[in-house]
Structure 1
Amino acid sequence: MADRSWGNATTSGRRVLQNDFLKEDSSNPVFMRKDTKTSFQWRIRNLPYPKDVYSVTVDKTERCCIIRTTNKKYYKKFTIPDLDRCHLELNESALSFAHANNTLIITYQKPKEILAVEEELQKELNSLKTNSEGDVECKTQ
């Protein structure tokens, strides 16, 4: 019967599976969301091209933002779930981007409706009484 394991050979002739058998390349672009108080913000690390290579647009029919490069090296579609939840349209003029230190930073200014919802949520969170351990007191009948 043949041994079907992978990895380095051991002294007994069997192979041992290694933990780092598959590893993501550290130079691949990394897409992450990092919001501020007034805007939704996404950062894509490991994009070395100059700013003029990038194009960031809004597709209103698919309700998403699209990032393209003129050299066809990067393409990404992403949605803004916060706008979908509030049934708000995407606005091209609210979208901007910058590039620095191999990172593309996409910024979408939050509409006043989103800011109002977040302010109301913050007021509600602040009104909850917490005990010394950070748990919220629940009222019982």
Structure 2
Amino acid sequence: MFRKGGKSTSMNHGGRRRVVTEFDDGGEMIEEYDLKTDELLLRKRRGRTVLGKDEEWEYLTGEAPRTFSPDVGILAESSVNPTWQRSQDTPQSFVWRVRNLPYPIETYQVTCDHGDQKIVIRTTNKKFYKRFDVPELKVLKLSLQDDALSYDWKNNTLIVQYKKPREVIKAELEEKVETQQLRLKRAPEDGDVDCKQQ
């Protein structure tokens, strides 16, 4: 679903299978799968600006690495601030987590904004607010459904789930078959070098 219109290559690196897809418009996407379980661990993509500069990576699944270095800067984000991320999806649901939210479950309101097609998280005490879309639904031009959205709160973490529609599950199965075909072509391992003898 995300790779359509691109050319994909695969290689194994550090216990993960990395699939790199390059698109005609200069954009690229990187996916990483666990070699043993074949679970998607990371999916990030970026495009190009009109002038040809690479845009920042957009993390669709997985967490962006922390980039603070004490050698470069003296300010760092507080470790007690809420952090939002798309975590590892289940076969039936998309999953997001907001860590460092110490308020009881009654404080949270998680709704669908049908006008903008975004999921909205807000707290009644006005301490946290977040709007985000579901890229898979945008790609397939599907609308958000209120009954597919649910949430729970445990260990100071708000867990938001959105049940995958049939169309998404079908597209993911097709993508999995494509990934399996890439795997059947022997993926180069770390240290493999293409040396042609003369």
Q: Same fold (TM over 0.5)?
A: yes
Of 58, 61, 78 in structure 2, the residue corresponding to residue 25 of structure 1 is 78
SS of the residue 2:106 aligns to: helix
| Aligned 1:18-97 pairs, distance under 5 A | 19-34=72-87, 35-97=89-151
The structure with more radius of gyration: 1
When the two structures are superposed, what TM-score results if normalisation uses the length of structure 2? 0.57
* 1:58-93 deviations in Å (ceiling 9; x for gaps): 001011010111111111111111100000010010
Give the C-alpha shift of residue 19 in structure 1: 3.5
Amino acid at match of 1:32: Q
Which residue is 1:131 aligned to?
Answer: 186
Percent sequence identity over matched residues?
A: 45
Count of paired positions: 119
Deviation at 1:18, TM superposition (A): 5.4
Q: Which amino acid aligns with 1:130?
A: K
Matched, 1:121 2:144: no
TM-score (norm 1): 0.79
Instruction: Report the AA paired with residue 165 of structure 2.
Output: P
Give the equivalent residue in structure 2 for 1:111.
165
**Unaligned ranges ≥5, structure 2:** 1-69, 191-198
Distance 1:57 1:123, change over 3 A: same
Structure with more strand by fraction: 2
- Amino acid aligned to 1:28: N
Letter in 2 for 1:107: Q
Structure 1 residues without counterparts, runs of 5 or longer? 1-16, 136-141
